[in-house]
A and B are shown apart, each in its own frame.
Chain A
Amino acid sequence: MSYIAVEALNKAFTVRKKREKGRLLREKSTVQALKDVSFSIEQGELVGYIGPNGAGKSTTVKILSGILTPDGGSVTVGSRVPWKERKEHVRHIGVVFGQRTQLWWDVPILDSFSLLKDIYRVPREAYEKRLEALTEALQLTDLLRTPLRLLSLGQRMRAELCGSLLHGPELLFLDEPTIGLDAVSKLALREFLQKENRENGTTILLTTHDMEDIAALCPRVMVLGHGQKLYDGALTDLLARYDTDRVMTVRLGGDLPPLPPCCQVQRDGENARITYSPEQLPTADLITLLQAAGPLREMTIQGQNVDRLIAAMYREMDL
């Protein structure tokens, strides 16, 4: 059986709306956060979990980590049912919520770590060894005596990550771990996660809106929308489906010739940006057309960036 096995998972929330004028009772409505979601993840996998806001990603993570009880369906993580054996389960997992701290605000992070050691009952030697390895990898050694509230966002995220890995979890949930980080911090964090996955065999489920994170880290992605699983497979395959358009930026000596209707043209001074689909109009044909109108001085061709592709995908899936 797979390490994580999720079968026909359902979860609904009752939302009470604001009372309307002239009505005695508030209206209630049910929001189906998850509809028959099934998937399985093997030990040591690094999986990206994406979808627009409100798709049910966080709900899934909260069920998998034992915070929420689902309405229906079955979940096992390493043969444990998270919400039934919460205490035993959370001993084996680590969770980082990008927007919620798990450390103590006013004390040096080393004190937080040391209290976490007691909470998780980590033996002293194991703790010291792990702490040393983690602080080195996450470049926290100089910050150990600084209170959390004085750390920058990037430093804080590294401290959170360190705190969630101290007990050596076999499964790590990351919810928007790179939110608000600068480029250097982002790259360092990604590298660290890859290493953690490779060397300790930690299974990682990464929830994010940052497609670069996914592209850099996750060979496999799952797409969730309106509480349903829409795609499960390689990111490259997913993108190939939507990666149909190219953008050509040209600087012409003369006027732009009339182009077929499948091209979109945007003018920017002397430059023109032409969005076209090579399937309908091969690049060579487009160049021939342009050259006929005058000398082609400059030309670059770009693919769409990943965010645009995902936006196109969400649009097509009607999310």
Chain B
Amino acid sequence: MKAKSIKVDYLARVEGEGGLYVKVKGRQVVDVKLKIFEPPRFFEAFLRGRSFREAPDITARICGICPIAYQMSAAHAMENAFGVKVEGPLRALRRLIYCGEWIESHALHVYMLHAPDFLGYEDAIQMAKDHGDVVQQGLSLKKTGNELVTLVGGREIHPINVRVGGFYKVPSKGDLAPIAEKLKRARDAALETVRWTSKLPFPEFERDYMFVALRHPDEYPFNEGRIVSNKGLDIAIQDYERHFAEEHVQYSHALHSIVRGEGPYFVGPMARYSLNFDRLSPLAQEAAREAGLGPVCRNPFQSIVVRSVETLYACDEALRIIEEYAMPEAPAVEVQPRAGNGFGCTEAPRGALYHRYRLDDHGIILDAKIVPPTSQNQKTIEQDLWEFVPKHFDLPSDKLRWQCEQAIRNYDPCISCSTHFLKLKIERE
């Protein structure tokens, strides 16, 4: 049988770098391997022996792409270990800073990394030559997200104001007023973004995914909730490791996550949206309906629309928080370390980010486990390609390679916390 191979040495527009290998024999896909070279266990080792106070900053700095998510999952895990609950305006500020991270992360992916795929450009730079105004819109939306993160989180290279128990300094109500004006403009821009992305050409592709995300009784999830799926899972965060497992795969140093006894699953905007549509603000729900999205979305190529809806929600939610905000008396809750285990799971822009720490009675980290969203999605990305490639066999090789890259970018995979180099290879035998 004649074999065909497509080779891509570098997978662009993916945060961090990793590798993909697809092998096609005749009209059959015979192999798909997504390779990620450095798993998070390297920085888990880095955390051992350090104080609980350092965990939010160290994990945020090592990752760098979504520092707030790392700070939040780490802080929640420590607070869980020490029996501390952060409530009221401090809790609201955490949601607020998370809104900022979603806005900046989603705007970057929608405009600079994903949109060029749909419009047929090699990258945002080429796209800017014809669509300068679109790129400017993305940059300005992202900037508002950055400014919100900086205002609440402070910033040197990374936000430095977040700590276990709350913040080092909190803003007054007046401090938040100027950003509210910008957020109103960002909300308008995000609404336009939903409309704009909904008109992009989407390949027909749907799968019956197992969606996994946090779900909270009355909020669209950022920091808190139970871990649920559309297949009946409904567990507390501390039971994560009882229901989820990480498998070693030979071709990759990375671990592939599965739901025990069930298989691969899907985390990220599309899972959050499909499990929490009823928790979105009325404005975001209306925009989603107008964009032609139902309350559940199963086409990963439409994740660009879902990200836009979440961006709109984040602007809307940030404005609600600012309006109701009253400056707390203290910037943080007192934290007293004690020996034990702490569990945290929050919704990073790319999906559920799980942290678990074992601590001694001085709060020294004995053991750490971090499961980033991209490692949870790896197996699902591979399965998408198993199904996607046979449907598009007749495409010329370079076009097929492009569409495979696009199928990976649907997940906004962030491999930066695990590796530096990503290579893509498709082989047709």
A and B form one complex: no
Measured CB to CB, the residues of A under 8 A from B are: none
